[in-house]
Homo-oligomer: A and B are copies of this chain.
């Protein structure tokens, strides 16, 4: 079944809002094994909406619209769809009662224009909207299934997840199940090079590579009659991908590097503290994005000047004088210093030039040293992330989290790039 999602609303075309309904519905359709081929957004304009519907009914078996079901003059989805598919609009009494009751409840008078929200295509399945006034509905015409949903996400999402998906599950049959294999330490093109042959010959499950924010992932997706059969297809494919990629895989179906760290350190009962200079608190922020981080995270220090590095972390003046604040030696002393000051099993120290400026000695912007102290040893990785301040900070934190995982899991640390040379 080929699906198309059509958002109706000038506010989307003006950029006032982003079309999150399309994402929510796409995720749901993929769960049901229904392929989404197109997402379209069009304004509150009946001629253009009608043209978009004419295109959609030729190329899709399922059309889901969002928006344009409200009481105002420019809400024209219902009327336009009814006309396009040759349906009469008839008053749906249960919906009118629900809308009237809604206004009674909030103590406002129901104006006449609200009645039109209860006018629905004759013979449709009504999807009762418990989260707002306009009901959704579904019908079939000339072999095409049409679903109309309200636009506001707080109505669209729950209505789709309940009545909408229940209606569609009956149409679809079968299931689709995915696994996300998360990768840190190689780029998208290297990953794709390694997986190229396997991807070419994989049809079910399929392999889809993605790169985002300095990480990669491979999504393995199986279609099957039922969940058990999908699982049987997935397991060997996931294992094959993990075997090919080796130790750059840091987790399967884990949300992010920080979630992997939280899970690992909580399970092992290890305490962590971090000292940050150029990342300015981003590592601490990302760790504490994970709810329950207090189980393993004791805290951190952002040491944004040399005096504070010395005072709070005990970094030696001679180290700063001889090697500068941006050096392997300083990162090492920061990692060791915070672990000691905060009394933790692991300590991280990050120092670098986030940019836009590099060092006075010619060290380029994006050079960052990351130290990790664990079990009496300290390891330092140097990275060069030349794509701007924000990205350099993000990459430094990704690397710090990767170093924690590798240290605790006993995987070997990646090599550093130090001022152009691999060290």
Contacts and interface: CB of A to CB of B under 8 A. Distances in A.
Contacts of A25: 15
Nearest to A355: B291
Interface stretch (A80-88, A167-175, A301-309): A301-309
A19 B59 CA distance: 22
Contacts of A41: 22, 38-40
A270 B305 CA distance: 15
Interface string A314-347: 0000000000000000000000000001110000
Contacts of A281: 276, 281-285, 287-288, 300, 302
A55 interface: yes
Where chain A touches its partner, the secondary structure class is: mixed
Interface residues of A, number: 111
A281 to B, nearest CB: 3
Nearest to A344: B308
Given A12-B39, A304-B298, A304-B299, A189 B30 contact: no
Given A294-B305, A384-B106, A189 B71 contact: yes
Nearest to A357: B291
Contacts of A283: 281
A36 interface: yes
Contact of A18 (B19, B308, B342, B387): B19
Interface in A360-375: 364
A42 B52 CA distance: 14
A107 B420 contact: yes
Interface string A170-208: 000000000000000001111011001001000000001
Highest count of chain B CB atoms <10 Å: which of A14, A25, A130, A354 = A14
Nearest to A178: B14
Given A23-B18, A113-B193, A280-B293, A300 B302 contact: yes
Q: What copy number does this chain have within its complex?
A: 2
Given A108-B187, A114-B189, A384-B105, A389 B294 contact: no
A111 to B, nearest CB: 5
Nearest to A105: B386
A291 B29 CA distance: 39
A189 B111 contact: yes
A210 B72 CA distance: 10
Nearest to A394: B154
Nearest to A113: B189
A43 B59 CA distance: 14
A23 B69 CA distance: 22
A20 interface: yes
A327 to B, nearest CB: 17
A250 interface: no
A51 to B, nearest CB: 8
A284 B280 contact: yes
A385 interface: yes
Lowest 3 CB-CB distances: which A-B pairs, in order?
A: A280-B288, A281-B284, A15-B26
